Chains A and B, each alone.
Chain A
Amino acid sequence: MKLLSYFRGEAFQRGVHPPSCKHTADTSIRRLPFAPRLVVPLSQHIGKPSRPTVRVGEEVVRGQPIAAADGWLSVPQHAPATGVVEAIELRPSARGPWTECIVIRVYEASTQEMLWGTPQDIEAFPPQEIVLAVQRTGMVGLGGAAFPSHAKLTVPEGAKVETLVVNGCECEPYLTCDYRVMVEQARDLMVGIRHAMRATGASRAIIGVEDNKPAAAEAMRRALPPQGDIFVEKVPTKYPQGSEKMLITALFGVEVPSGKLPLSLGMVVNNVGTLTALGRLLPAGQGLVERVVTVTGPGVARPGDYHVPLGTPLSFVLDYAGAPAQARQVILGGPMMGQSVASLDVPVTKGVSGVLVFRGEDMASREGRRSYPCIKCGECVESCPMGLNPSMLGMLAAQREYDVMGEQYHLGDCFECGCCTYTCPSNIPLVQQFRVAKQILREKAAA
C-alpha cells in the first residue's frame, strides 16, 4: 500500500490513516434552538477584533450587524438571534484568555428567519466590490483557521490567480460538517465558487474530495454548472489531506515551496463550508450568524450535524445533543488538531467545526499507556507530511536546544498536524513539545 502510493506519486508522501469514526455522515443537518443567552465574542477570527456598534440594553434582530470591522484584517459580527444586548464584557474563550463579548438575551419568540439584509445584484459587481461584499458578511474560513475570507480572496498587486482550489477534504476523524454541506448544499457551493472565481480572477476551480466520500462527489457533480470550468476531483483518503499544501500536492503533483503561499503557484484555496455559506449569504446581502457544527464523540447520545447559532454556549449544545455527565474531555474541532476546553461556558464561534466529547473510559485506553524513551522506530519520520524528523526534534526539545530545532531541523515548517504524536509507540507528546519550542522561539524573535 505505502510502497504503491510512494511510486504512483499521486498523493503527498507519508501521513497517517486514523480510524475515520464518521458516525454522523448519514444524518442530515438539523437545527439547534436558540440558547437563552448567546455570547458573541468580538474576536472570532484572526486579525483585529471587531468594534461593537450597539449599546447595552439595545434591541437587536437576527442578522443585524452588532460590531463593525476594525481595519482591513477584521470582519463585522452579526446578531445571531433577536433579543436584547445584556452586556458587553469579558468572557472566557476557547483559547484560554478572556475576551470581550456581546451577550444577547434571546427573545423566546425569536425566529430562525433572517430579519436583516437586502438582496444585492452580486453578478454585476466588479471583483473589488465582491471582496468588500464578502467582508460585509463577516465570513471567515470555516475550516477551522478562521482567517477572514475577503483577505484570502484578495489578489495582491502583481500576482495572478489561475486556479481556485476548493478544499473538500475533511480528513479529521469524526467531523462530517463539510461532508453534509457538500451533499446537501452543493448548489449554494457552486454559487459561492462562481463568486470567488470572479473575485480572484481564477479561470478554473477544482474541488478536491477524498475518495471515501463518493456521495459528496456525486452530489457536487450533479450541481456543476454547464460552463465546464469547475471540476470535481477525488484524492486519496489520508490525514492530513485537508491541509492546503497537501491537497495541492495531491492534485497537481507539486509542492508549495517552504515558507510560501499557494498564491506563489497561482492558486487560492478555500474551504467548501466557507464557499457554500458565501453562496447563500452574498446574493441575499446577509451576515454570518450560524454555522454547521458536528457534535459527536463517544460521549454524545444524539450525535449529528447542527446549524448552530454563533455564540451558543457549549453547555447548551451538549445538553441538546445529550452528552452525559461523565463527559471528561470536550474538544473543539477534530481529534487530531482540536483544542480541549476547560469550561463549557465558552461559545461556539465561526471557527468551530466540531464539538467532540470523550468519556472517562474512552480516555483510559490512551492514558493507561506507558511512556517510554524514544526507541527511534522511525514511525514519526515516516508519517510527517512535512518531511521533518520529529524524532530528532523531540530529542532536541528534551535538551532545550530550541535554536538548533529552528535552524537546522526546520521546526518552522511543522504545522502541528499531530501525525507524529499519533503514531509514536513510546507515547511521547511530540507536538506539544514542538508547540512549546515554537512559542519560545517566537518570544525570542520578538525580544
Chain B
Amino acid sequence: MTVQTEIRSAPHIKGPRSVEQIMANVVYSLAPICAFFVYQYGISALASILVVTASCLLAERVFVRTGTQAGSLSDFSATITGLLLALTLPPGFPLWMGVVAGFSAMALGKALFGGIGFNVFNPALVGRAFVQAAFPAAIATYTPSFLPGRFTEFIPSSLAWPLMAPADTAAWLKAMQYDALASASPLARWKFEGFVTPAWDLVTSLTGHMAVGPSPLLILLCGAYLALRRFMDWRIPIAVLGSAGLSALLIYAVFGTRFPDPFFMLFSGGLVLGAVFMATDMATSPVTPRGMWLYGALIGLLTVVIRFYSGLPEGVMYAILIGNAATPLIERITQPTPFGKGVSIRARRQATYTLHPDYISREEAGAKTPKKRFLKNKPK
C-alpha cells in the first residue's frame, strides 16, 4: 500500500472557533443597535454609519494592499471598527469628518501597529479621539432623537462640504421650535446646566436626547448575547459597570447632591456602549482573567473621575484609551497561577475523596519528596 501521508503537529483537530466567526458575531450583535440608532435619528444616522464604515473598510484595504498591515477585509474587524466609530459620533456629524475619523482610526489605531491583533488602542476610539481633538465643536453638537422629518430630511450639518464648517445646527433647531439646550447630551446638560435626565428616559432612550448611541438596554441585551455565546468576556463589562457604579455611589454618598446618582452615571452617555463593546476589544484588553477584572475596574473608576472632576462631560473614551495603554502592565502583574504552584494544595471543598492528612502536611512542611527520576506521565 503506497499512501502519501502527511506529517503534522498535534493536535490534529481544531475547535470550531475562528477569528472570522468571532468578528462576524460582533457585527451581528451590533446590527440591532445600529438599526435602533437609525430609527432614532433617521437618514443622517444611516448615512453616517455607511460613510464611516465604508471609509474604514477602504482604509483597511489600502493599508493591507500596501503591505503596511496584516489581516484582510474578510475578517470583519474593520467593519466593527467602522460601526462602533459611527455609533460614538453624533448622528449629525458632518460626513466628511466621518471619513476623516474612519481613516485616522485605521491609520493611527491599527495600521501603525501592524494590523489586526497588534493594535495597542481600540481603533474606533483612536478615530474618535482624533476627531474630538480636530473638530471639538462638531462632535459636541447633538440633535434630539425622533425629530418629525428625520427619515426624509438630513440634519443640515451632515451634508457640509468637505473641509468646510458645518451648518449651524442650533439655528436649524430653533427654526423647528426647539430650544438651544436640545442639542446637548444628558451628560453635558448635567455638567453645564445641572439638569439630571430621568432614569427611564436614559435606559430606553425612547424620548429626549441620547448623547452616544441608542438605548443602553438594547446594548446590554446584545452584549449578553455575545457574552453567553462566549464571543466576548463577561468579566470586563461587569467590572467596568460595577466599578463605575460603586465609585459613583461612593462619591454620591459622601458628597451628596452635588453629584448625580450612580444610576445616572451608569446609563447616561457612552458608558454602557464603551463597557460592552469597546473595553472588551480583545486585542487591547488583557487576556488574563484577573487582569480583566483589574482593567475593567480601572476603566470604570477613571470614567467617573473624568466625568466628575474634569472639564469634559464624557470620560469613557479617555478612560478606555488609558486602560488600553495600561493593558500590558496589567497583564504582566496578573499572570495566572500555574497548576500546582499556588496555595491550592489544601483540599478544595466538596472533593470526593480526602487525602490522608499526613500527606498534605508533609508537603507543606517542605519535606523532601522522592527525587524525580523519570519523565512526567502524559495523558492518553
Instruction: Classify A-B as touching or not with yes or no (CB < 8 A).
Output: yes
Chain A interface (Cβ < 8 Å from any Cβ of B): 8-10, 12, 16, 18-19, 46, 73, 141, 143-145, 147, 151, 156, 158-159, 162-163, 167, 169-173, 175, 178, 206, 231, 233, 240-246, 249, 251-261, 263-266, 269, 271, 315, 318-319, 323, 325, 327-331, 333-344, 353, 356, 358, 363, 365-366, 369-370, 372-382, 384-389, 391-392, 409-410, 413, 415-418, 421-427, 429, 431-432, 435
Q: Which of A141, A263, A340, A380 lies in contact with B7, CB distance below 8 A?
A: A340
Chain B residue at minimum C-beta to C-beta distance from A269: B377
Show 12 A/B contacts (Cβ-Cβ < 8 Å), sorted by A: A171-B379, A172-B379, A244-B379, A252-B347, A255-B339, A255-B345, A269-B377, A337-B378, A339-B10, A374-B117, A415-B379, A425-B22
Which stretch in B60-68, B85-93, B264-272, B367-375 binds the other chain? B367-375
What residues of chain B lie closer than 8 Å to A426, measured between beta carbons? 19, 117
Q: Is the interface of B mostly helix, strand, loop or mixed?
A: loop
Chain B residue at minimum C-beta to C-beta distance from A409: B335
The answer to whether residues A418 and B233 also contact, given A171-B379, A264-B369, A389-B288 and a CB cut-off of 8 A, is: no
User: How far is it, in angstroms, between the C-alpha of A258 and the C-alpha of B339 when the chains are bound?
Assistant: 7
Q: Indicate if the CB atoms of B287 and A391 lie closer than 8 Å.
A: yes
Chain A residue at minimum C-beta to C-beta distance from B358: A266
Question: Is B242 close to A, CB under 8 A?
Answer: no
What residues of chain B lie closer than 8 Å to A171, measured between beta carbons? 379-380
What residues of chain B lie closer than 8 Å to A372, measured between beta carbons? 19, 70-71, 75, 116-117
Q: Is the interface of A mostly helix, strand, loop or mixed?
A: loop
Question: A-B contact count, CB below 8 Å?
Answer: 302
Question: Is B337 close to A, CB under 8 A?
Answer: yes
Q: Indicate if the CB atoms of A427 and B287 lie closer than 8 Å.
A: no
Nearest 6 A-B pairs (CB), nearest first? A253-B351, A418-B11, A243-B379, A373-B117, A253-B348, A258-B340
Q: Indicate if the CB atoms of A344 and B377 lie closer than 8 Å.
A: no
The answer to whether residues A254 and B351 also contact, given A375-B116, A418-B10 and a CB cut-off of 8 A, is: yes
Q: Contacts A254-B347, A377-B282 given; 11 further ones with Cβ under 8 A? A: A162-B356, A170-B380, A252-B355, A258-B339, A265-B355, A372-B19, A389-B288, A392-B335, A415-B376, A421-B11, A422-B13
Residues facing A in B7-21 (CB within 8 A) are 7-15, 17-21
What residues of chain A lie closer than 8 Å to B374, measured between beta carbons? 46, 73, 147, 151
The minimal Cβ–Cβ distance linking B53 to chain A, given in whole angstroms, is 20
Q: Indicate if the CB atoms of B353 and A344 lie closer than 8 Å.
A: no
User: How far is it, in angstroms, between the C-alpha of A173 and the C-alpha of B13 when the chains are bound?
Assistant: 9
Residues facing A in B99-132 (CB within 8 A) are 114-118
Q: Which of A18, A330, A334, A376 lies in contact with B5, CB distance below 8 A?
A: A330
User: How far is it, in angstroms, between the C-alpha of A341 and the C-alpha of B6 when the chains are bound?
Assistant: 8
What residues of chain A lie closer than 8 Å to B344, measured between beta carbons? 254-255
The answer to whether residues A388 and B5 also contact, given A254-B351, A337-B11 and a CB cut-off of 8 A, is: no
Q: Indicate if the CB atoms of A252 and B353 lie closer than 8 Å.
A: yes
User: How far is it, in angstroms, between the C-alpha of A158 and the C-alpha of B347 when the chains are bound?
Assistant: 24
What residues of chain A lie closer than 8 Å to B360, measured between beta carbons? 254, 265
Q: Indicate if the CB atoms of A327 and B339 lie closer than 8 Å.
A: no
Q: Indicate if the CB atoms of A240 and B17 lie closer than 8 Å.
A: no
The answer to whether residues A9 and B348 also contact, given A175-B380, A266-B355, A372-B117 and a CB cut-off of 8 A, is: yes
Q: Indicate if the CB atoms of B370 and A263 lie closer than 8 Å.
A: yes
What residues of chain A lie closer than 8 Å to B288, measured between beta carbons? 378, 381, 389
Q: Indicate if the CB atoms of B21 and A425 lie closer than 8 Å.
A: yes
Q: Which of A386, A387, A431 lies in contact with B11, CB distance below 8 A?
A: A431
Residue among A10, A163, A425 facing the most chain B CB atoms (10 A cut-off): A425
Chain B interface (Cβ < 8 Å from any Cβ of A): 1, 3-15, 17-22, 70-72, 75, 114-118, 233, 282-289, 292, 331, 335-342, 344-356, 358-360, 362-363, 368-380
The minimal Cβ–Cβ distance linking B131 to chain A, given in whole angstroms, is 26
Residue among B70, B359, B379 facing the most chain A CB atoms (10 A cut-off): B379
Q: Indicate if the CB atoms of B17 and A340 lie closer than 8 Å.
A: no
What residues of chain A lie closer than 8 Å to B118, measured between beta carbons? 373
User: How far is it, in angstroms, between the C-alpha of A265 and the C-alpha of B379 when the chains are bound?
Assistant: 19
What residues of chain B lie closer than 8 Å to A256, measured between beta carbons? 340
Q: Which of A163, A410, A425 lies in contact with B338, CB distance below 8 A?
A: A410
What residues of chain B lie closer than 8 Å to A206, measured between beta carbons? 353
Q: Indicate if the CB atoms of A432 and B345 lie closer than 8 Å.
A: no
What residues of chain A lie closer than 8 Å to B342, measured between beta carbons? 255
User: How far is it, in angstroms, between the C-alpha of A381 and the C-alpha of B335 when the chains are bound?
Assistant: 10
User: How far is it, in angstroms, between the C-alpha of A142 and the C-alpha of B15 when the chains are bound?
Assistant: 27
What residues of chain B lie closer than 8 Å to A418, measured between beta carbons? 10-11
What residues of chain B lie closer than 8 Å to A315, measured between beta carbons? 1
User: How far is it, in angstroms, between the C-alpha of A158 and the C-alpha of B370 when the chains are bound?
Assistant: 8
What residues of chain A lie closer than 8 Å to B363, measured between beta carbons? 257, 264-265
Q: Indicate if the CB atoms of B340 and A257 lie closer than 8 Å.
A: yes
Q: Indicate if the CB atoms of B339 and A385 lie closer than 8 Å.
A: yes
Q: Indicate if the CB atoms of B282 and A376 lie closer than 8 Å.
A: yes
Q: Indicate if the CB atoms of B375 and A147 lie closer than 8 Å.
A: yes
Q: Indicate if the CB atoms of B355 and A422 lie closer than 8 Å.
A: no
Q: Indicate if the CB atoms of B369 and A376 lie closer than 8 Å.
A: no
Q: Indicate if the CB atoms of A375 and B379 lie closer than 8 Å.
A: no
What residues of chain B lie closer than 8 Å to A335, measured between beta carbons? 10-13
Q: Indicate if the CB atoms of B336 and A427 lie closer than 8 Å.
A: no
Q: Indicate if the CB atoms of B370 and A12 lie closer than 8 Å.
A: no
What residues of chain A lie closer than 8 Å to B335, measured between beta carbons? 389, 392, 409
Q: Indicate if the CB atoms of B348 and A319 lie closer than 8 Å.
A: no
What residues of chain B lie closer than 8 Å to A264, measured between beta carbons? 359, 362-363, 369-370
User: How far is it, in angstroms, between the C-alpha of A353 and the C-alpha of B378 when the chains are bound?
Assistant: 13
User: How far is it, in angstroms, between the C-alpha of A242 and the C-alpha of B377 when the chains are bound?
Assistant: 10
What residues of chain A lie closer than 8 Å to B336, measured between beta carbons? 381, 384, 387-389
User: How far is it, in angstroms, between the C-alpha of A18 and the C-alpha of B3 when the chains are bound?
Assistant: 28
What residues of chain B lie closer than 8 Å to A353, measured between beta carbons? 380
Q: Indicate if the CB atoms of B339 and A375 lie closer than 8 Å.
A: no
Q: Indicate if the CB atoms of A387 and B338 lie closer than 8 Å.
A: yes
